[in-house]
Amino acid sequence: MLLCDIGNTSYHFLDGELSFKKSVASFNPLKMKEKIYYISVNKKVNSELAGLSNWIDLSEYIDMSHYYDTMGIDRIVACEMVKNGVIIDAGSAITVDVVKNGRFEGGFIYPGVVAMQKSYENISPALAYSFNFDLALDIMPKNSQDAISYGYLKTLYSEVMSHKMPIILTGGDAKLFKKIFKDAKVDEELIFKGMKKIIQRADIC
Q: Are residues 79 and 151 in the same domain?
A: yes
pLDDT value of residue 59: 95
The HSE-up count of residue 30 (CA atoms within 13 Å, CB side) is: 5
Instruction: Report whether 42 contacts 7 (CB < 8 A).
Output: yes
183 and 84, same domain (yes or no) = yes
Q: How many domains does the chain have?
A: 2
Q: What percent of the chain has pLDDT over 90?
A: 95
Based on the domain organization, do 45 and 10 belong to the same domain?
yes
User: Rounded to two decimals, what is the model's pTM?
Assistant: 0.91
CATH number of the domain encompassing residue 135 = 3.30.420.40
Pairing of strands 10-15, 103-111: unpaired
Angle between helices 73-81 and 190-202 (to 10 degrees): 80
Residue 173: pLDDT over 80: yes
Among 163, 172, 164, 166, which Cα is nearest to 191's?
Answer: 172
pLDDT band at 205 (very low <50, low <70, confident <90, very high): confident
Are 28 and 73 members of one domain?
no
| Per-residue confidence (pLDDT) for residue 85, from 0 to 100 | 98
CA 204 distance to own-chain centroid: 25
Q: What is the arithmetic mean of pLDDT over 101-107?
A: 96
In which domain, by residue range, is 48 found? 2-61
Confidence of residue 174 (pLDDT cuts 50, 70, 90): very high
* 61, 88, 103 - which closes a domain: 61
End residue of a domain, out of 61, 78, 111: 61
pLDDT band for position 8 (50/70/90)? confident
- Contact of 122 with 129, CB cutoff 8 Å: no
| Active site (catalytic) residues | 74
